[in-house]
Structure 1
Amino acid sequence: MLVCWPDDFIKQLILIFNLYILLPFHNKCHGYGKQIENCGSLQGTWYNQLGSQLILVHLSDGTLEGEYRTSVEVEIGDAGTSHSIVVGSAPYLAGASFGFSVVWNGGQSTTVWTGQCVVCLGGHEKLLTTWLLHSMSSNCHEKWKANRIGRDIFTRYQQKPGPRKDLDTHIPEQPLNYSFSIEGNSKSFVKVKNSKGEQRWPPFTERRNFDLLKNARKRKKNTERREHRKKEPPKPPPCQLAGTWYNELGSEIILNYDKSGLIKGEYRTAVEREEGTAGNTHSRIYGIGNYNEPNTTFGFHVVWRRGASVTGFVGQCFSTCGLDALDKMETLEVNWILWQGIDKCQDHWRSTLYGINTFTKYEQAAGPRQKENTHVPNRAGEDIEEEVPASDSSHSIHDRHLAIISTRTLLFSATSILLICL
């Protein structure tokens, strides 16, 4: 028996199917458009979940400069006496990977961040980042305890109070409810009752003793250090960061270090996770350190394949490392974090790889070399997989949803024909 459906019913059915097909695509296009618009530049002020303030200037040469005001520090004074300078590599394209470095307290420690700008739920762009903090070690054997790792999420709106440039506050707020004696003992301030029976903190003059006692304690420590230095062996010679270095995998780095503290150079990696991920030539190095104290910490970044991924290196230059007393040599002891590009905020957990390298002035293994005009890993005999060009990577979401639309359209057409013919 042939059953004919009313024309109005068929039109309504077609309209519902059209909405079903186009609505998900519209939502994705809307998010994609916001990513291009809002993540096109990192210029401006950002705040993380701890209350720290990050001010970035996105320069035309592909670098980042700015200021960082941290709201936290492991011990009082670790962050220095003012805000810190930011140096980094900007994303090549909207939503591509980036990285930046901050040197704390004259090189006593350095942090590198790697990450990506992603538009999350609610339409707000966020900087999803992983950080690696390296604290200065007295010698090579102490490096095992020098590193901390974590993650930050920066937004353009404030998530928590902290030091701010416009308020002329630049370092973490020092606790007023603790006082330090010259001998190093500490005790908490205790709330006292006033004449009305109300609890209150001690008067400002009493809290001010916190600074006075802390300064006295610092003077005592400095005196003890001077006395101790008289008994210490002489300092190791300065480590020359500039020059050509090689790691245990065969990678080559060429570093230039100027008096402003900027580190620039070239990186030729001997390894890559997949064919082509290192790009078609060497990559640029950009970082920061303390030029006047060459044995302190430093950090630099390497952007791979126009921002498809970025690695942040942080470490220290040692001038007296070696296997024994007769084998003293300069080494760069570094830890690194590699950020791989992600498509959505929920993938933050799988974005980062971590590792350790030791660089020396002599070659430890074969690899690409500037003098031999080789710039990428040896790919002879490897299977070459087809990859999407970096310039088209930002459109991958758009292409996937076009494919979904085509599939749904075919299903819709087949369904419509069956309904009309029933």
Structure 2
Amino acid sequence: MNETEGQAELLAVDAEYLWHPWSPSRVSPDTLVAVSGEGCEVTDADGRTYLDAKSSGFNATLGYACRPVVDAIAAQVAKLMTYDMGEGANIPAIRLAQRIGELAGPALTRTFFCNSGSEAMEAAIRIARFYQAVLGSPERGLVVSLHNGYHGATMAGAATAGAPSPISDEFTPNGFVTVPGPEEGIGALKGFLTDHGRRTAAVLVEPVQSRGAYVMPEDYLRGVRELCDEHGILLVLDEVTTGFGRTGLMFGYQHAGVQPDILATSKGLAAGYISLGAVTTTQHVFEVFDSNKKMAGFVHGHTHSGHATACAAGLAVIDHIESEQLLANTRARGEQLLAALEPLRELARVTDIRGRGLMIAVEMDRSRRAAQVRKLMRDNGVLVRRTGKNVVLAPPLILTAAEADRISRELLSAAEKAALIEY
């Protein structure tokens, strides 16, 4: 590999050979080619360093080059990179499942490992449908999600997005329904379940929606839990983005004091150092599968389920979150950012500011204006995510007060400049 090539040379090769996810088929000339990172900063192929206020794809929760995680991965690779979980086991997978159960408990006890958040949600949906079938209700196949939710890019995940959606199309499967979320109160979901509860397997909710940092009100989440209990429906909480510290608690649902029947996690579990996802269920859900002698458990899996090196990384990530008191830091830095961004409410072009922990969105009046804010911030060395009309901040949990101050200053400046543009 030629380490001396710059952005232009690498993007020329990129344009000829690489197919990017979530992007136009043709690579943009301003695509950032990352070559190294340390802490909350990432450096491109031309040597320019940026403050990454979006944690790569929300997954670099411990920043870059976190030595304890790097060392854990290297040590496990040297010892045993992995071993088949279908006919065997490995120590990191056993210990990580135990650790997740201790953190997520008391009811959530059983963890199934996969490789990504999309895979985790696919497995969660299959578990929910199989669960109802094993209990004698195969007609309970509907999966209900909320408007503006995002639950992955597999066929099932795309189907939960509803229509119109850029990831939902004529190829997505049937049996998925979206209903209005808390913006219309609990009534929309209650009404749907009153009419269709006997055909419903599960309700999917993100404690903070990843598309625009919409925070589920705590009373709404408790109401969803009550409705699921009333109708015999499984509550699936999608914490692919929020799990392992993003909201300032280990899991987002802990703010509301509820527990799901099925929990999906991924991004923060291995903090971007290696691919890893997990589905954690209650003991009751596990025992329903265990009691079905015909199926002999959950017939689903992947070659790399419970990958030993990935699980070793997950253990190191959890250790680092706890030893460095990153949950408290996340709460403090999130409060700092939200307070610093309050002056933006005076801008007519800003329609909302919201968030929890280090997942914050500033909503503009137009998508083009949000895109302009993103560009201006990048020009000044700060990377943020733009989703629709939202400028989303999701920096690493290790963010310092000085770095948070820089992010807020650049966002204030960029929003003020973008507000002057007439579209």
Larger radius of gyration: 1
Considering the TM-score relative to the shorter chain, is it more than 0.5? no
Larger helix fraction of residues: 2
Higher RCO structure (Cα 8 Å, ≥6 apart)? 2
When normalised by structure 1's length, the TM-score is: 0.25
When normalised by structure 2's length, the TM-score is: 0.25
